[in-house]
Amino acid sequence: MRSAVYGSGGHGKVVADILTAASEHEVVAFLDDDLSKDGVMVGGLAVHAIRSNIREQAKQLKIGAIALGIGDNKARSAVAERCHAAGLAIVQAVHPRATVARSAQIGTGVAIMAGSVVNPFARVDDGACINTSATVDHDCVIHRYVHIFPGAHIAGTVEIGEFSYIGMGASVLQNIRIGEQVTVGAGAVVLENLEDGVTAVGVPARRVKSTPHSGRG
């Protein structure tokens, strides 16, 4: 299937590489909201700036599916909503060198990078990203548009709420619940539940900031 990656930055480059490695899609272009990038070549693919009607541009390029190549959770969600509204299919990007259990549930638009692991009966909801060499153990629930950064490790039966970030190299103990729009800093070790809107850093992770919860984005 002829596909495009929405987002031509570093995250988008990785997603394009995943689709190519998986050999399920012919990646023909990047799409981007940055008009200054229009016509720029990235890894041999042209960037097409979205000027007005994404449905019409996709039709002109003969694109049948879109992969989400944006690292920011809220921006990734907004792009997915625009694509859905335009009737465009959104595809998963799962690297062939990722390990995903047969019993795991993987949603629409999920990105699972090389070296990462999703273990049995875990659930990764729409638009979430399991970045390079991150691990999600058994029976976890990773809600929509969560981003688990490279080298982070999530132990069994953990739940992570929508739009949360788990920083590079962070660890989360088993049976923990992390709320929505939480940021866990790089290298932090989470030993207790974290409520919505918290930023937590350190070993063990301690709350350093709490922001009002602003809904589901």
Q: Hunting for tokens 């132990």 — which residue is that?
A: 155
* Total Cβ atoms within 10 A of residue 105: 13
* Antiparallel, parallel or unpaired: β 89-90 and 65-68: parallel
What pLDDT does residue 205 have? 97
- The alpha carbon dihedral of 23, 79, 39, 51 has a sign of positive
Are 148 and 167 contacting, i.e. CB atoms less than 8 angstroms apart? no
What pLDDT does residue 211 have? 63
Q: Is 138 a catalytic residue?
A: yes
What pLDDT does residue 60 have? 85
What pLDDT does residue 216 have? 32
Are 178 and 197 contacting, i.e. CB atoms less than 8 angstroms apart? no
Burial class (CB in 10 A: 0-12, 13-18, 19+), 180: buried
Distance between CA atoms of 145 and 70, rounded to whole angstroms?
A: 11
Distance between CA atoms of 196 and 159, rounded to whole angstroms?
A: 12
Q: How many residues does the chain have?
A: 217
Are 105 and 123 contacting, i.e. CB atoms less than 8 angstroms apart? yes
Distance between CA atoms of 73 and 214, rounded to whole angstroms?
A: 14
2-91 carries CATH number 3.90.245.10: no
Confidence of residue 196 (pLDDT cuts 50, 70, 90): very high
Q: What is the mean pLDDT of residues 11-32?
A: 91
pLDDT digits (tens, 9 = 90+) for 101-152: 999 999 999 999 999 999 999 999 999 999 999 999 999 999 999 999 999 9
Are 193 and 207 contacting, i.e. CB atoms less than 8 angstroms apart? no
What pLDDT does residue 105 have? 98
What pLDDT does residue 56 have? 83
pTM over 0.85: yes
Give the 3-state secondary structure of residue 77: helix
What pLDDT does residue 26 have? 86
Identify which has the larger pLDDT, 26 or 19: 19
Confidence of residue 57 (pLDDT cuts 50, 70, 90): confident
Catalytic residue among 11, 48, 84, 138: 138
Identify which has the larger pLDDT, 60 or 126: 126
Q: Which CATH class name applies to 96-205?
A: mainly beta
Per-domain residue ranges for the chain?
Answer: 2-91, 96-205
